[in-house]
Amino acid sequence: MSTPNHRPAPAPSMNLRGAVDLSALKARATAPAAPAGAAPDAPAAGSSPFIVEVSETTFPQVVQLSAQVPVIIDLYSARSPESVQVSAVLRSIVIEAAGKLLLGRVDADAHPDIAQAFQAVAVPTVAAVLKGQPVPLFERAMPEEQIRALVAELLQVAAANGVTGSLDEGAAAEPAEEAPLPPLHQEAFDAINAGDYDGAAAAYRKALAEQPADAEAKAGLAQVELMSRLQGVDAEQLRSSAAENPNDVEAQLAVADLDISGGHVEDAFTRVVRLISRVFGEEREQARLRLLDLFEVVGTSDPRVTKARSALARALF
């Protein structure tokens, strides 16, 4: 299992659709919300009210708060000295931010489901959540100045996406209630939580049949179809096959799926556009349609999609 030193910070104009599926964790929580005036899994005495310990039960509250402020997720382990170092830096940054950030600390040993949801392959792993969507930040220890730079960029991303609120002390106990989903969207959401991607896709298709302009259903359909294609795949084998067969449409599209799921959006788009320029007929149309689906997964307003659309037009004409 690879353990890269860090991942680059996202650009401020990024779309917040993420590669990580947090819905199952949100639905898994069955315990009642924290009582008024208490943060989720209230922090130890003397610590900041903007630093909370997170479990599967309190995870939904943390996700809801990401609509107000950026939530930094610190996946740590008591077995890791690097975790202690990174956690200390993050604590300082969040305390200094005075309510502009929330730090959610996750014991990766005690809560492996959360670690898996964030695709953590090492500790510490640090990610963020904005508007309910995950944003990877870095893995392993980093110098304090680099961590601060990443958090500064995270705040820029948040501002660009309208997340500019501030938490009062105890605000973690008062997440805004989410509006109920339309029935077919809820049916799809429930199917995703059950691992039934075909059922989720069917629900989204019904929603689109009723409302062809339903952008959320269209994006949801593209996302669950991607999740279905990636279920049980051998990533190393797929990449090896694509490297050996550059004009194999299925192999190249499979790796593009992998790249999207891992957050390597531009790599995925470039791969498919180059493929389109090399193949013709039905294979070209297959690749074009897949690229349009991937645009939906990322978000059609994302500037990377706009750039890729221009590249697609050049490849086609």
- CATH code at 206? 1.25.40
The mean pLDDT value for 238-251 works out to 95
Please give the pLDDT value at position 40.
42
Mutual orientation of helices 215-230 and 249-261 as an angle, nearest 10°? 110
Average pLDDT of span 89-102: 93
Asked if residue 7 has pLDDT above 50, the reply is no
User: What's the whole-number mean pLDDT along residues 48-76?
Assistant: 90
Residue 43 pLDDT exceeds 60 = no
Does one domain contain both 236 and 256?
A: yes
- Residue 18, domain member (yes or no): no
The per-residue pLDDT for range 20-35, each reduced to its tens digit, is 445 444 444 433 333 3
Averaged over 32-39, what is the pLDDT? Answer: 35
Q: Rg of the chain's alpha carbons, rounded to an integer? A: 20
Is the same domain home to 28 and 167? yes
**Sheet containing 51-53: order of strands:** 51-53, 102-107, 71-76, 125-130, 133-139
pLDDT band, very low/low/confident/very high, at 309 (cuts 50, 70, 90): very high
- Where residue 287 falls among pLDDT bands split at 50, 70, 90? very high
Q: What are the tens digits of pLDDT across the range 131-171?
A: 888 889 999 889 999 999 999 999 998 998 889 999 875 54
Helix (H) or strand (E) holding 198: helix 197-210
Inside any domain, residue 287: yes
Expressed as residue numbers, the domain containing 96 is 23-173
DSSP class per residue in 257-284: HHHHHTT-HHHHHHHHHHHHHH--HHHH
- Total domains in the fold of the chain: 2
* Single residue among 116, 142, 173 that ends a domain in this structure: 173
Residues 86 and 127 in one domain: yes
Shared domain check, 204 and 118: no
Phi-psi region of 279 (alpha: psi -120 to 50; beta: other; left: phi over 0): beta
pLDDT value at 39 more than 80? no
Looking at the fold, whether 28 and 169 belong to one and the same domain comes out as yes
The verdict on 196 and 304 lying in the same domain is yes
Work out the burial of residue 30: count CB atoms within 10 Å of its CB; fewer than 13 is exposed, 13-18 middle, 19 or more buried.
Answer: exposed
Average pLDDT (284-308) is 91
Spatial separation of the C-alpha atoms in residues 57 and 15, rounded to whole Å: 27
Q: Is residue 209 assigned to a domain?
A: yes
pTM of the model: 0.52
Last residue of a domain, one of 123, 141, 173: 173
